[in-house]
Amino acid sequence: MHNTSKTTAATAARRGLALAALAVFAWLATPAHAQFSMVPAPQCTQPKESATQGEREYRVDAARHIYACYPMRVYRGKLPPLLYGVMMVETEIGAAGEVVNVSVVRKPAADEVAPWVIAMIKRAAPFPAPAKHPGGTVKFTETYFVDKSGLFQAFSVTEGQR
């Protein structure tokens, strides 16, 4: 009798683990979540030094750099009226174009978008070196508009919304 209860408990534990694994795979298999499970390798080359002097101008350089790094993830044309995630981040770029810090200013409604955008920014380094900025560093805020397909636009260079 003692052996039967151990067998029943072990079977129940295995079933529980199997159900948990299926739930995780089902969650990742949904189109919205699967698109944000990994950031592709950036396709950009070493950027040139930025000729900009202001934060606004540098923000455009940075957005263009991210577009060059992830051309397969840029939403072409006007964005749809309803977006999956809108996220605002503050990014600090160091003298050599390295990402010093990325912090969330406005969290997106879809939780999986924030780590994906942050990872995308960090993997796109080095950015154009902000040599003409005081101290050789720059801090700027950018808003990312993300579609459920995993495509995005940056506010600085957006094509607008339908």
pLDDT tens, position by position, 38-94:
888 999 998 999 999 899 999 999 999 999 999 999 999 999 999 999 999 999 999
117 and 134 both lie in a single domain: yes
Per-residue pLDDT at 18: 61
**Residue-range definition of the domain harbouring residue 41:** 35-157
46 and 96 both lie in a single domain: yes
111 vs 32, 37, 144, 159, 161, CA distance in Å?
11, 12, 14, 25, 22
The average confidence (pLDDT) of the chain is: 87
12 and 91 both lie in a single domain: no
131 and 79 both lie in a single domain: yes
45 and 109 both lie in a single domain: yes
85 backbone φψ class: left, alpha, beta (φ>0; ψ -120 to 50): beta
pLDDT tens profile 1-26: 556 666 776 676 677 666 555 555 54
104 and 49 both lie in a single domain: yes
Q: Give the pLDDT mean for 102-126.
A: 96
- Residue 103 placed within a domain: yes
The CATH number covering residue 113 comes to 3.30.1150
- Residue 13 placed within a domain: yes
- Residue 76 placed within a domain: yes
9 and 22 both lie in a single domain: yes
Q: What is the pTM of this model?
A: 0.78
- Domains identified in the chain, total number: 2
Distance CA(150)–CA(25), nearest Å, equals: 18
Distance CA(87)–CA(157), nearest Å, equals: 15
- Residue 73 placed within a domain: yes
- Residue 162 placed within a domain: no
Residue 141: pLDDT band (50, 70, 90) is: very high
Per-residue pLDDT at 27: 47
